[in-house]
Structure 1
Amino acid sequence: MNHIVIIHDSVEARGGATGLARLSALEYRKRGFRVSYLTGESGDDELAEAGIDVHGLGQSKLKKAGTFAAMTKGFHNAEAKCLVADWIAQNDTPSTVYHLHNWAQILSPGVFAALKPVEARTVVSCHDFFNVCPNGGLLNFQTGEICKLKPMSAACWVSQCDRRNSAHKYWRMARQLRLNSLAGFAQSQMTFVCLNAGMEQVMRAAGFRAPNLVNIPNPANGYTTDRVEAEQNEAFLFVGRLNAEKGADIAARASRLASVPMIMVGEGEMMDRLVAGYPEIEFPGFCTREEIAQLVGRSRALVVPGRWREPFGLVIAECARSGLPILSSEPSTLSAEIAHLDMGRTFPANSPDILAAVLREAAADDALISKLSRNAFSKAENICSTTAEWTERFLGLFEQKTAGRA
């Protein structure tokens, strides 16, 4: 194995899946491998300066395109399929491996057709649930409830779960039919990587039938090298998009019910309403990592009130490594580990009253917060990887793929 090809919708990152796609490219290159990056967006100076060969389509994500363009290219992006297929035809060798990240925003299901000739040497990182669920969240966005229906079943077809409207729901269902046909998950030789054991369990329970499904915990670094003395702080911290699935409204409501100070970092469609309705809450907006580190240093616990099955929750691992206790809703795929490792508390989703009770207990009990903080700081390595560990796991997987053992 001497050439690694990263394939991902985007190249410009504020974190999340694109941040990990970039990190993987840079880490593989640091270890001396030849790296190419195929993306729906444009080239990138940082990657190019690192010696990474970037090929981009210069396209935008679906949400920035007009309705017709989004519907057509989201269903099948012919240019993206050709980008990948042509690259393979011109450059592939038996020692080349392919690492697909996200496809749902630009590349479309067509990328799986392009990868069919090399699927035995392809690894797919599942950063979300789009490979099994039409709306990508295993969530009914209309009710805010976790969806327990089998994806693509008759009940799934009639469920009005889309965040927009029924027409968009049926478009998503049609796209999923195309994806399932092109990818052939049940017989695929690709290896699909979940972000933790909890996500793997959710994928299998939802009916994802790929025979090669493993989990490699995402890398995470603490915001601080020393433990945050959380027991000496008062404010609770929320970091994420200010939207319904992240439970931003639940965090705001619970903080008011509990009469505790709250800092809510992020942007999103709920921001204006929350800022106007909760003047007692601090809303710093989008923050750099350095700015978040300062806020972590003055926080008592991280609040993660999401309504959906958060596939990983990078901020959870980063805050735990810093010594912040984690107060997480139960749908998070990390919630079972948080409870098992006694590094925080879990609570039902969609329950601001219950979260308020959890916040009151956490605000009043310094000894409890000290214990949870110390556990988080010492045990966070159980829920995430270091960058080096994460990179080595993938390189080991690539070696197995080229040797025909995975």
Structure 2
Amino acid sequence: MLRAPDPLTVVIVLDHASVTGGQARVAFDSAIGLKRAGHESIVFAAVGPVAPELVAAGVRTVCLGQADLLGHRSIAAAAVQGVWNGAAADALRELLATLPAGRSVIHVHGWAKALSPAIARPIAESGLPAVYTLHEYSLMCPNGGFFNYRTETPCSLKPLGAACLATHCDSRGYSRKLWRAARHAVMERVARLPAAFPDIVAISRFQVAAVSRHLPAGARVHLVSNPIGVEPMGPKPAGARGPLTFVGRISPEKGPLLFAEAARRAGVDALFVGDGPLLPELKRRYPEVRTVGWQGPEAVQRYLREAGALVFPSIWYEGQPLTVLEAKALGTPVIVSDGCAGRDCIADGVDGLWFRRNDADNLAQAIRRFGEADVDALSRAAYDSYWAAPATLERHVAAIVALYRGLLPAAAELRLTA
């Protein structure tokens, strides 16, 4: 194990100590990368179990063994925990008090599924530099997505404004929307969580453009790409053709039904790799599609490598889709919605195709165009453009460490005296 010169101590804060999605995957990869580079990384999470890769890498993990809000046996207790998780705040305060001053940083990746806004107070009291990554938008929007699950459209309403409060946008029920609004009010006005983060990490230019007007006042925005773990395999063999493939959570904001409908209209086969609440409806409405359920990372990469194209039909302001980068790294072109950050990674007609967000006819047209395109050229361009500037863990760690060092007291004093 390396020991970095002047090593940092970084506390990585999120709801779960196991991989539950892209947010946790990025947080854990970052923690492991920091550890390998000779820094001390500590994962602080509410919900177990602890990911085995953290244990194998020797990353210290403080896990409280709590339930998340959806997994709680008591709805009332979950509602209270979601608004103010005092036990998590106390445990975080205790941890932060042990950190060495002058070389320690707090990096929050998520709080809305278990930790609650209560973490703001120990972070502010610690006096340590604190950073927040915009994996989603819980710091600014009550439902975390600037997305109306009823109309399946992005939301432009002012959070907690009269129109926002009157709009039923939640995926479950209006009473849950009102609870989310109440929690958001506590988060902003009691805990003052946004004020704890003068520095925000955005993961794509699209994301900054989409939500910049909602960012905390005076926040400094830093663009740092997420890492992915794909090894170079070389371009695909000429003539390789596989199914059009969806990879990810089978949920409304990801657009799986949109892809299934477009594939039916275009008369092509569609493969779905993943699981989620819409999977039963997908199978019922589109019995012709092939589904393989949730798969581990190695199997996902195999499906992506074998795909003719990844279809990424997301209909919300997705910040940086990891599967789009993984597909390119494996030499697979991408058919991507123009309403998410995946389009930042794809040059239309060069290494993939764009289509209009949430438009099944336009996606069907893109699928037909793909069938008539030079797929070998698209595939080679996807591979070459990714590996010209790969989103490796080493590059991510270098960028995030440079950010951390710029936030430490010595760097702050130099900025003030310059």
TM-score, length-scaled by structure 2: 0.90
Letter in 2 for 1:24: S
CA contact (8 A) 1:330 1:348 kept: yes
Q: Which residue of 1 aligns with 2:378?
A: 372
**1:255-279 CA-partner distances (Å, limit 9, x unpaired):** 1111111111011112122223333
Residue 326 of structure 1, aligned match among 334, 355, 358:
334
Residue 33 of structure 2, aligned match among 8, 27, 33:
27
Aligned equivalents of 2:114, 2:36: Cα separation in 1? 28
Q: Which residue of 2 aligns with 1:58?
A: 65
Mark the CA change 1:120 to 1:22 in structure 2 (over 3 Å): closer, same or farther.
same
Aligned equivalents of 2:231, 2:269: Cα separation in 1? 21
Aligned equivalents of 1:84, 1:370: Cα separation in 2? 52
Mark the CA change 1:118 to 1:164 in structure 2 (over 3 Å): closer, same or farther.
same
Q: Which residue of 2 aligns with 1:393?
A: 399
Give aligned pairs, total. Answer: 403
CA contact (8 A) 1:234 1:363 kept: no
Aligned equivalents of 2:320, 2:96: Cα separation in 1? 31
Q: Which residue of 2 aligns with 1:356?
A: 364
Gaps of 5+ in 1: none
CA contact (8 A) 2:106 2:128 kept: no
CA contact (8 A) 1:229 1:373 kept: no
Letter in 1 for 2:192: A
Q: CA deviation at 1:209?
A: 2.8
Aligned equivalents of 1:75, 1:32: Cα separation in 2? 37
Residue 183 of structure 1, aligned match among 185, 192, 213:
192
Q: Which residue of 2 aligns with 1:4?
A: 10
Report % sequence identity. Answer: 27
**1:36-61 CA-partner distances (Å, limit 9, x unpaired):** 22110246354344333221110122
Mark the CA change 1:244 to 1:178 in structure 2 (over 3 Å): closer, same or farther.
same
Q: CA deviation at 1:27?
A: 1.2
Q: Which residue of 1 aligns with 2:323?
A: 315
SS in 1 for 2:131: strand
Residue 225 of structure 2, aligned match among 192, 199, 217:
217
User: Does 314-323 or 279-288 show the bigger shift?
Assistant: 279-288
CA contact (8 A) 1:138 1:309 kept: yes
CA contact (8 A) 2:129 2:407 kept: yes
Residue 54 of structure 2 corresponds to residue 47 of structure 1: yes
* Counterpart mapping for 1:72-111 below 5 A: 72-111=80-119
**1:62-87 CA-partner distances (Å, limit 9, x unpaired):** 11113212211011100111111121
Residue 121 of structure 1, aligned match among 104, 129, 151:
129
Aligned equivalents of 1:374, 1:109: Cα separation in 2? 46
* Counterpart mapping for 1:248-397 below 5 A: 248-339=256-347, 342-365=350-373, 367=374, 369-380=375-386, 385-397=391-403
Gaps of 5+ in 2: 1-6
CA contact (8 A) 1:28 1:35 kept: yes
Mark the CA change 1:309 to 1:189 in structure 2 (over 3 Å): closer, same or farther.
closer
Aligned equivalents of 2:336, 2:127: Cα separation in 1? 37
Letter in 1 for 2:317: R
Q: Which residue of 1 aligns with 2:3?
A: none
CA contact (8 A) 1:222 1:320 kept: no
SS in 2 for 1:285: coil
CA contact (8 A) 1:230 1:373 kept: no
Q: Which residue of 1 aligns with 2:206?
A: 198
Mark the CA change 1:27 to 1:222 in structure 2 (over 3 Å): closer, same or farther.
closer
Mark the CA change 1:156 to 1:290 in structure 2 (over 3 Å): closer, same or farther.
same
TM-score, length-scaled by structure 1: 0.92
CA contact (8 A) 2:245 2:309 kept: yes
CA contact (8 A) 2:310 2:327 kept: yes
SS in 1 for 2:217: coil
Q: Which residue of 1 aligns with 2:161?
A: 153
CA contact (8 A) 1:230 1:298 kept: no
Letter in 2 for 1:128: E
Runs of 4 or more consecutive aligned structure 1 residues displaced over 4 Å after TM superposition: 381-384
User: Does 200-209 or 189-198 show the bigger shift?
Assistant: 200-209
Q: CA deviation at 1:221?
A: 3.8
* Counterpart mapping for 1:120-139 below 5 A: 120-139=128-147
CA contact (8 A) 1:234 1:261 kept: no
Q: CA deviation at 1:290?
A: 2.1
Mark the CA change 1:230 to 1:280 in structure 2 (over 3 Å): closer, same or farther.
farther
Q: CA deviation at 1:100?
A: 1.3
Letter in 2 for 1:22: F
Letter in 1 for 2:60: D
Mark the CA change 1:371 to 1:210 in structure 2 (over 3 Å): closer, same or farther.
farther
CA RMSD of aligned residues (A): 2.2
